[in-house]
Each structure stands twice: as C-alpha cells, then as structure tokens.
C-alpha cells in the first residue's frame, strides 16, 4: 500500500499545520518537495521558514501553472479549495491525494475514523481515552490536533498499534485507498455550503469515510437517522447508536450497551447536554467494537469532563449559568447546543454571529422561539441573524465586541437562565479561531462584575 518516495518530485499545496507535516514526511523519505500556497511569505510566517529549512522549494503568492509541471505526486492540504491546476495535473496522470490518504498508505495499524458535522472532537477524544486501556500504542489526531501523517512510522502506526482520527469533509475529499476498520458518522447537517455546491455534495464528501470497508469492518451510524444508511455502498457490518433501537442508547436515564453489561447513569457523566450523551453512546459502541472492557469504558465515561469551548460550563453569576460552546460554528451545532439545554428551569440567552457559512438560521429561530429569552448578535452575520429573528418573540440586541455581548446578555438574563455562546458561524471576522473567541467569552464572564 505504501508508495515509493525516494527521488520523486512531490508538491504540497497549502502550508498549514498538516501541510508542513507532509513536507517533513516527504523530505525524510527522500522526495524532492515543492510547496505552493496562495499566501505570501509574510502571511505564512514561521511555516515558510521551516519548510525552506527542511529543503523545500517555495512557490508562494499564487498558483502558477508552471509550478504544477514535472511532478510525480501532489498532496493537497484540507483548506485548499478546488483548483483547475489540480484537475489538469490529474488529467496528466499525476496522483493528487490528501494528507490523510498519503498517511493511510504508510500506516499498518487499524484506523478508527470519526466524522460528522458536529461532535467529532468529543467522540474522537473519548474513543482515544478508552482505547488506551487496551495497552497498545494509540495515536489520536487528524482534524483534532496532530496531523494523521505523524502516525506513519511510529509504534502506533505499526501493526500492533491503533490510529484514531477525526476527519473533516475537506480531509475526506481526496481519499481513495484509506480503509477505516471502524468508521463513525455522527450526523450531517448543512455546513460549508460556501465551499460545496449543495448539501448532497457535502454529504457525499462525508460518506467517503466508508470507502473500501469490507465485511470485517464496521460502519457506526445514529439509529435515528435512517437516511444516512443510504450513504453506505458496501456489505460490511452496520451498527447503530442512540435512538430507540441503537446497540448503545439511553434507557430510563441510564447509558446502556444492550450487547454487554455496561450501565452508566447519565447523571454520573460530567459532560453536559443531550447531544453529548449521544456522542458518548457513539464512543462506547466504537470502543466495544475495538475490544475495550466494559469497566474501562465506564471509568472513562465517568471521568471525562469534555473539551474546551464545547458546551463548557464557565461560571454561575447571580443565578445565571454561562456556557461556552464557541466550537458550535454552524447552525446544526448551535441547534444541538440549544437542544442539549432544553428542559432547564430557565430560558436561554444566545450569543451568536461571526462569518456566515451559507445556511439558513431558521432552525435556530424555531428553537429560540420556544426556549429563548433573547439573542445577542455580533460580527459579519449580525444583520442576517437580525433578519432571521424579525417578528420572533425573543428580544434582539447587537454587540460590537465579545465584552459588549456578555454585558448585554447578562442584562437580559434572569435567575435560572443560561447564557449560551453558540455562534453558528465561523470566527474569522473578529478572532483568529473559535478557541480565541471562546477564551474572550470566558474572560468576559470571569470579569462580569467589572463589565456591568
């Protein structure tokens, strides 16, 4: 499955974290590497210097046709949009692959791959923690932290190891030989419609996670989304989680594996929200398929506190809880976050906005009309959100900064309410990342008495 790289002419398109990792991997194996990126040297910063120090040729500031000539391999980073130059290279017979596809060709270990619009990072981390109880080398990464290519050549990437990776639709676009022993699809809701021509095209990219699976592999799907089963085009084992018929589901308030002795009361979990309980069900099912013991799975479930900026409790002030779900960067994630808080004694004051991703905000309006007290909007999508909530029963406020948003939300909330940061948008208009956005929210909450 591996490919010969010695003395091959390879190009890496896109010099982000995974792109730089690919440059290092290729050069260590004797390839001659050219790096191409739309950004210039100043914008790339230290990444350009590091690639050059490794011995790569840099072609920056555009995608000249000449840079794509005389190549044996092109590796495309996940953030790179479709390019005519890549299409023409493929027409000439040049392999064009993703970082994930290249990594898979050098990994002997079973691969556990997790995708979905929402919940990927939580489920990937949970499966990773559970799998470490097997006593074998484990790599956890992909879209979550470390690029998958870093598993190649390690003990975890060898036959005795286990590779557990979160994969985005972008990363799955150019896979062809990657085979996941356990492939988990959590959900699909509209997202990245600024990149894909339709929801079906986005779903098709996600479905590539099941390619090349056979009868010895497992496709893990939500029981309450039968339409997702139509995305699988193989005869392998399909196992379900959640809902009323999933192998692992909640029964009378207890997270239950119906095919084992695992029983964990939901109230003993430290993660918040019904969507996170569903995530836990998916992780439990995947871990059991990998052979993790019930006792070890239960111990991890009881100890796992969740990930930063994913339905993370920040503080309670004057009887109002503040929740940071800055990672809710699309409408589906924001809806899941709201739904996860449904049933609390008070109402929700939502902070939302950022860079619009092309979806409809009506699902948020529907939820907030029932569960919400107010919405504080900010960022580039503020006007779109205001229009979406026109004539709704919830109050709308506009904020110019995160401190301003928290101050407005605190003034609107009443004891028993929850102030929820679930932006439904990407962060790049006002922040470097969703993490920075969440950190600013948390700082504003921690100093709330000074802001009011």
Beta pairing, strands 254-257 & 263-265: antiparallel
Determine which helix (DSSP H) or strand (DSSP E) holds 113, and give its type and residue range: strand 111-115
259 CB burial (10 A radius; 0-12, 13-18, 19+):
exposed
Q: For residue 143, indicate whether it is catalytic.
A: yes
If you write DSSP's letter for every residue of 367-427 in order, what string do you get? HHHHHEEEEEE-STTHHHHHHHTTT-SSEEEE-SSHHHHHHHHHHH--TT-EEEE--SSBS
179 as an active site residue: the answer is no
Helix H or strand E encompassing 357: none
Nearest to 317 by CA among 402, 442, 405: 442
With CA atoms as reference, report the closest residue to 416 among 351, 339, 349, 352: 349
Are the C-beta atoms of 305 and 401 separated by less than 8 Å?
A: no
**Closest to 448 measured CA to CA, from 306, 321, 272, 346:** 321
Closest to 127 in 3D by CA, of 163, 101, 171, 168 = 163
Instruction: Measure Cα distances from 75 to 36, 101, 220 in Å.
Output: 10, 9, 29
Q: How far apart are the first and last CA of the chain?
A: 61
Residues constituting the chain: 452
The helix-helix angle for 274-289 and 294-303 (nearest 10°) equals 150
Q: How far is CA 417 from CA 23, 324, 348, 352, in A?
A: 50, 14, 6, 17
Q: 36, 143, 276, 330: which is the annotated catalytic residue?
A: 143
Active site annotation includes 192: yes
Q: What does 85-112 look like in DSSP terms, one character per residue?
A: HHHHHHHTT--EEEHHHHHHTT--S-EE
The catalytic position among 36, 179, 181, 192 is 192
Residues 6+ apart with CB under 8 A from 425: 329, 330, 352, 353, 354, 355, 356, 357, 379, 380, 381
Q: Which residues contact 169 (CB under 8 A, 6 or more apart)?
A: 115, 191, 192, 196, 202, 205, 206
Choosing from 36, 120, 179, 357, which is the catalytic residue?
120
Q: Are strands 248-251 and 254-257 parallel, antiparallel or unpaired?
A: antiparallel
Three-state secondary structure call for residue 282: helix
> Could you give the residue numbers annotated as active site?
120, 143, 192
């Amino acid at each position: 499955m591996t490919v010969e790289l010695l003395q091959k002419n390879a190009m890496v398109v896109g010099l982000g974290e995974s792109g730089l990792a690919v440059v290092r991997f290729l050069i260590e194996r004797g390839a001659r590497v050219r790096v191409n990126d739309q950004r210039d040297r100043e914008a790339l910063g230290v990444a350009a210097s590091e690639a050059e120090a490794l011995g790569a040729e840099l072609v920056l500031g555009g995608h000249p046709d000449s840079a794509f000539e005389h190549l044996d391999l092109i590796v495309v980073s996940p953030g790179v949009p479709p390019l005519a130059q890549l299409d023409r290279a493929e027409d000439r017979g040049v392999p064009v692959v993703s970082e994930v596809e290249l990594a898979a060709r050098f990994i002997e270990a079973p691969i556990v791959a997790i995708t979905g619009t929402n919940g990927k990072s939580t489920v990937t981390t949970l499966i990773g923690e559970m799998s470490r109880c097997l006593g074998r080398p484990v790599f956890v990464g992909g879209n979550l932290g470390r690029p998958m290519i870093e598993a190649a050549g390690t003990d975890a990437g060898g036959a005795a190891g286990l590779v557990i990776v979160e994969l985005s639709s972008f990363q799955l676009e150019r896979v062809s030989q990657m085979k996941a022993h356990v492939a988990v699809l959590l959900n699909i809701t509209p997202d990245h419609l600024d990149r894909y021509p339709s929801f079906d095209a986005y779903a098709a990219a996600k479905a590539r996670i099941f390619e090349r699976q056979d009868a010895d592999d497992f496709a893990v799907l939500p029981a309450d989304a039968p339409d997702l089963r139509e995305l699988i085009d193989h005869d392998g084992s399909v196992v379900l989680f959640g809902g009323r018929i999933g192998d692992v589901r909640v029964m009378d308030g207890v997270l239950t594996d119906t095919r084992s002795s695992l029983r964990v009361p939901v109230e003993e979990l430290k993660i918040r929200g019904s969507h996170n309980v569903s995530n836990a069900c998916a992780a439990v099912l995947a871990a059991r398929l990998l052979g993790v013991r019930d006792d070890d799975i239960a111990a991890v479930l009881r100890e796992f506190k969740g990930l930063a900026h994913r339905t993370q409790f920040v503080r309670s002030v004057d009887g109002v809880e503040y929740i940071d779900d800055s990672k809710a960067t699309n409408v589906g994630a924001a809806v899941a976050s709201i739904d996860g808080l449904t049933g609390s004694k008070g109402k929700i004051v939502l902070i939302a906005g950022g860079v619009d991703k092309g979806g409809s905000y009506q699902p948020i309006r529907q939820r907030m009309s029932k569960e919400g007290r107010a919405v504080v909007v900010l960022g580039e999508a503020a006007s779109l959100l205001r229009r979406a909530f026109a004539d709704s029963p919830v109050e709308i406020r506009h904020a110019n900064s995160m401190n301003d948003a928290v101050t407005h939300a605190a003034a609107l909330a009443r004891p028993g309410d929850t102030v929820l940061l679930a932006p439904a948008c990407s962060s790049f208009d006002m922040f470097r990342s969703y993490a920075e956005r969440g950190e600013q929210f948390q700082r504003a909450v921690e100093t709330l008495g000074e802001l009011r």
